[in-house]
Every structure is written in structure tokens, then in C-alpha cells.
Amino acid sequence: MDLKLGHYNKDGIEVVDVEGEIDVYTAPRLRELLIDLVNKNNYQLVVNMEKVEFLDSTGLGVLVGGLKRVRAHDGSLDLVCTQERILKIFRITGLTKVFGIHETVDEAIAAKKSEK
Amino acid sequence: MATVEVTFSPLPAHVRTARLVATAVARRSGVDESLLDEVRLAVGEACSRAVEAHRRHCPAEPVKIEMSDQGERFVVVVSDHAPTGAAPARANGHGTGHGPGPGAASVVHGPDEAGIPAGFGLAVISGLADDVRVSSTSSGVSVRMSWPSATA
């Protein structure tokens, strides 16, 4: 399936819901959304990947790019993911050490609040 | 030896189609269900790399993917025809898990992805498949990957 994107604000943190496949074709849309959010001064981001069916290196690149952008403003970008097939990609690339990865959106938000 | 060959225009939208075809042929060839996600991701990465190389150097040329059932292995070869230029030859990336092959174009680019090095896609492939060989000729790069199959 194609990529569906949505976002909402909860407790001052912008949550991005991603559904479908993130690959060389669809990743530019996610990149544009992340850039747009940062340009609108949202520096605390949670990307919910629970409905992501496929993620490749292009998608990883977009997430790393988003992380760099928010960090430039002392922000952070955390992920919500429990799917083993997706987690495996973060693991083999070593990116589990780069991103905060949580099991639920509420857990990710709570973690961000405790960091403040 | 059963073979399926697909050629497609170097458009990002077709990479998904290539992934789906490869996964279907792998299943038909008897590749274990637990390995199909690896096949899907590795073939997608190889095709993304080839598409990016063609878009830069020869957008009119199609990318080729060959899938064959060779005894106890399911073999996929993704070939591009992009000139390798002055990139140093580095054939056979078997099991290294690191770095790009010759002439490997980054599948991600632009200032936003500066943190992801060129050839990252190939590194992902090497991390996924236990048999990966990247070879380069003057006419392009081919990425050969294989997985065990259990043909009845």
C-alpha cells in the first residue's frame, strides 16, 4: 500500500502517524512533512511507526535527517515501534542507539516530558 | 533452472513492484517464509540503488532484475547500466557488510540525509543476506544475492 501520513499535537509534542510503506518512492513525502513541522517550530517529535509495513534505507535516511533538524534546535525525535521486522532494520544499522524507541505513543511522550 | 526476468524504467514507483515480484517468486521457489522479509528488503535496496544510478546517468535505460531457482539457492541479480566512472573497483562484497560497491550511488541524497553515507543501502543488503556479491564492469554494477530454497 501507499504511504499515509497524519499528525497531531499532544501535550506540546507533535506526534506523526505513519502508515504503509516508506521507500525510495514515498520517503520524500515523509521528509517534507518533517521539514514542515520543524519549520513551524515543532522540535519535539514522536514518529509512530506501528502501522508501517515496510521501511528501507531511504526511510532511515529521512528519519535521521529529521533527527538532525530537531537536534539543531535542542529538540528530539523518538520512534514508536514494536514490529520486529521494522526493529530489525534499526538494529542491523546500529540506529537503535541513535533513536529513542518506545512501545506506545504515551510512553514516548512520557519519556520526552521526563527529559525536559 | 526456472528464471523470471523483469526490466523496468528507472522510476522510484516501480521499485515497489520489483519487491513484490521478487517476494512472490521467492515464495514460489520455496524460500522459507521467515526469509521473505529479507528478500523483499534486500531486493528493494538493490533496485533503489540501481534506479538512482540510472536516473543520474542513463534515465532512458531500464533496470534489470533476474530471479532464478538454482538448485538449493534462490538467486537474485539486479543489474544497472550506469557507468562506474572513476570509482575504484571493488568486486565481491561477500559478507563484508560494509561500504558501497564500485560506482554505488547513494540511494539517499540531499542536505537532509547528510548523515547517511553513500552505499548505505548496500550495507543494509549485506547485513540481511548471507550471500551478497557486488561486481562492477565498465558497463555497470550488478548485485547478486541468494537465499536457501527448498524446491520440492
In tens, the pLDDT along A18-63 reads 999 999 999 999 999 999 999 999 999 999 999 999 999 999 999 9
**Residues of A in Cβ contact (< 8 Å) with B114:** 65, 68
Query: Is pLDDT above 60 for B102?
Result: no
pLDDT band, residue B137 (cuts 50/70/90): confident
Instruction: Determine, yes or no, domain membership for A113.
Output: no
Preferred mutation among A26, A31, A38, A56 to probe B, highest tally of B CBs within 10 A: A56
Residue A53 near residue A21 (C-beta atoms within 8 A): yes
Using the Cβ of A68 and the Cβ atoms of chain B, whether some distance falls under 8 Å is answered with yes
**pLDDT value at residue B91:** 37
**Nearest by CB to A57, which of B37, B40, B121?**
B121
For β-strands B140-148 and B131-137, DSSP reports them as antiparallel
Is residue A115 assigned to a domain? no
Nearest to B48 among A56, A62, A65 (CB): A56
Enclosing H/E stretch for A57: helix A57-71
pLDDT range class, residue B118, cuts 50, 70, 90: low
Domain ranges of chain B: 3-148
Residue A44 is part of a domain; what is its CATH number? 3.30.750.24
Q: Is A112 exposed, middle or buried (0-12, 13-18, 19+ CB in 10 A)?
A: buried
pLDDT category at B115 given cuts 50, 70, 90 is low
Q: Among A9-18, A21-30, B143-152, whose mean pLDDT is lowest?
A: B143-152
Total of domains in chain A? 1
Section B13-26 average pLDDT: 96
Q: Out of B112, B116, B124, whose CB is closest to A31?
A: B112
Q: Which residue has the higher pLDDT, B71 or B60?
A: B60
**pTM greater than 0.90 (yes/no):** no
B131 contacts: CB under 8 Å, gap ≥ 6: B73, B94, B95, B145, B146, B147
pLDDT above 90: percentage of residues in chain B: 61
CA–CA separation, B12 and B9 (whole Å): 9
DSSP assignment letter at B31? B
Start-to-end Cα distance in chain B: 13
Give the confidence band of B127 by pLDDT, cuts at 50, 70, 90: confident
| pLDDT at residue B101 tops 80 | no
Question: Which grid cell is A33?
Answer: 512533512
Count of other CB atoms within 10 angstroms of residue B138: 8
Residue A83 lies in a domain: yes
Q: How far is B112 from chain A (nearest CA, A)?
A: 5
Say if residues B56 and B125 touch (Cβ distance below 8 Å): no
CB B143 within 8 A of CB B27: no
A84 inside domain: yes
- Strand, helix or coil for residue A58: helix
DSSP for B83-98, please give it: --TTPPP----TTT--
% of chain B residues with pLDDT over 70? 76
CA-to-CA distance for A112 and B137, rounded, in angstroms? 50
Interface of A with B in 40-59 (CB under 8 A): 54, 56-58
Q: Would A66 be classed as within a structural domain? A: yes
Share of chain A above pLDDT 90, in %: 91
d(CA B98, nearest CA chain A) in Å: 11
- Which of B16, B45, B107 lies nearest to residue A21, judging by beta carbons? B16
pLDDT of residue B83: 82
Cβ-Cβ contacts under 8 Å, A67 against chain B: 115
Q: Which residue has the higher pLDDT, A93 or A105?
A: A105
Q: How far is A38 from chain B (nearest CA, A)?
A: 12
Q: CA–CA separation, A34 vs A14, rounded Å?
A: 10
pLDDT at B110: 45
- Computed over every residue of chain B, the mean pLDDT equals 81
B-chain CB neighbours of A61 within 8 Å are 107-108, 112-113, 115-116, 120
Instruction: Quote the pLDDT of residue B107.
Output: 38
Would you tell me which CATH number, out of the four given (3.40.50.300, 1.20.120.1200, 3.30.565.10, 3.40.50.450), belongs to the domain B3-148? Answer: 3.30.565.10
* Residues spanned by the domain of A22: 4-103
The arithmetic mean of pLDDT across residues B122-132, rounded, is 88
Chain B CA closest to residue A55: B41
Q: What is the mean pLDDT of residues B118-127?
A: 84
Ordered strands of the B63-70 beta sheet = B3-8, B63-70, B73-79, B140-148, B131-137
In a domain, A65, yes or no: yes
B-interface mutation test, from A22, A24, A33, A89, most B Cβ less than 10 A away:
A24
